[in-house]
Amino acid sequence: MKKLLEVVVNDDHSVRFDTDFDAGKDPGFMTEVIPLLALAMTTTLWGGNERSVLAAIRALAIADLGVSVNRSEMILGLDQASARLEEAMRAAREEMRQAGMEIQSFAPGVGPRGPHS
């Protein structure tokens, strides 16, 4: 197990980041983990805290873009990479549909109704 990212805001409003990931030792890790993150964000229920997790991810992205040296270039790169991922995810869903699997989407914090609902 690897801690991808931990972000802690202390009572004095200082922010601390921690990770088990070392980009120098494992430069391909992020490329490998992006599809896993996308799959988790589209298929896994996170215990009801989806809205807060997504808000934190977006806050990190906004802060990163806000301090970027070349914001436009960074946005373009993110747009292109996310478009490729979106197409791959769409193709995977279509393959699953063709294989007879039922695809259901749920809003953050909403899960399928089960026998105990």
- For 29: left if phi > 0, alpha if psi spans -120 to 50, otherwise beta; the answer is alpha
Higher pLDDT, 62 or 48: 62
Cβ-Cβ contacts under 8 Å for 53 (sequence gap 6 or more): 46
pLDDT at 52: 83
**Predicted model pTM:** 0.71
Lowest mean pLDDT among 9-13, 45-49, 78-82: 45-49
- The mean predicted confidence, pLDDT, of the chain is 85
pLDDT of residue 53: 84
